[in-house]
Amino acid sequence: MERRVGRLLPLLAVHTVVEYCRLPWKPPVTAGLLAANTLIYLRPSFLHHILPPIREVWFNPYLILKHKELKRFFLSAFYHVGESHLVYNMMSLLWKGIQLETSKGSVEFASMVAALLTMSQGITLLIAKSLLLFFDYEKPFYSEYAVGFSGVLFAMKVVLNSQSENYAYVHGLVVPARYAAWAELILIQMFVPGVSFLGHLGGILAGLLYLKLKGSYSGPDPLTSIIRNFAGILSWPLKLMRSLFRPRRQRISGRGTVGASQGGRTVSGVWRCQACTFDNSVWLSVCEMCGTSRGGSGFSSRQLQHQDGDDLTLAEIRRRRIERFG
């Protein structure tokens, strides 16, 4: 069923438009993630038969491992239980995404988001299963239902603040920026009931693991290379269509430029008079400007010989140009 738009979503839309309008370069991947999360929450009628209902995508470790439901593993991050949940996450995504995508580039940022999503969900699943095996914690974590993009956002916060020496405000507290994610994890768990502690913790650990792998791997990022090649394949038909329908700039009329030769370059479809340097159509055998035959030579720069035998001075040529072209 299509959701009704409340008061917070218009504020998110206005804030997003304002932020993007002030940017010289508009990060496309961040905009795509914002649009995807919002459309999935609103469930417009044209997507109703494509998007599964939220009950089929809840992140539940027990159901994922028992039934091998990868749909829950990947899609649960893009679903939200309420408008405030969505708007809070999207405001955080807007701020973090613009900074990270601007610094890394769209392709590397897209590969980073995909890696963080997979690692945060995988770590959360691994922790839940470990708590069940070693401590018999089934009800609090292994059977827990959760949705939302916050796990990825916690991982992005770790990546964003990894090299920062500044301080950050976390719900009124001033903490070193590199520890901001840990402080937010504790404060949210204390003051916001019903949030997924394992989901947020998995996001923080995913960010730390991503930085560790990124620092130890010297070669090009394989996922980034795959996304870049895939984007190149998708853009190839567009480039082909642009090349086919690009307007030609070659001139076939004799009314070309007059002046000195530009480094000896010639334009296909025209020939340049050696006497007055006027560009004529290849269909003409006599210069349209001064009447010199094509390929003719032996005239000085001060005086040109016309077909009827009269000597044409430069002043006469200028007069005829004015009469012909106004």
Residues labelled catalytic = 150, 200
| Tokens (6 digits) for 291 | 């009447």
| Tokens (6 digits) for 190 | 């204390």
CA distance 261 to 46: 61
Q: How far is CA 202 from CA 18, 51, 181, 210, in A?
A: 32, 26, 12, 12
Which SS3 state, helix, strand or coil, does residue 253 take? coil
CA distance 71 to 247: 47
| Residue 6, beta-bridge partner list | none
Burial of 59 per CB tally in 10 Å (0-12, 13-18, 19+) = buried
Measured torsion, CA atoms of residues 169, 172, 173, 175, in degrees rounded to the nearest 10: 0
CA distance 174 to 176: 7
| Residue listed under structure tokens 């649009």 | 35
Identity at 314, one-letter amino acid code: L
Please state the φ and ψ torsions of residue 118, each to the nearest 5 degrees.
-65, -45
CA distance 168 to 158: 12
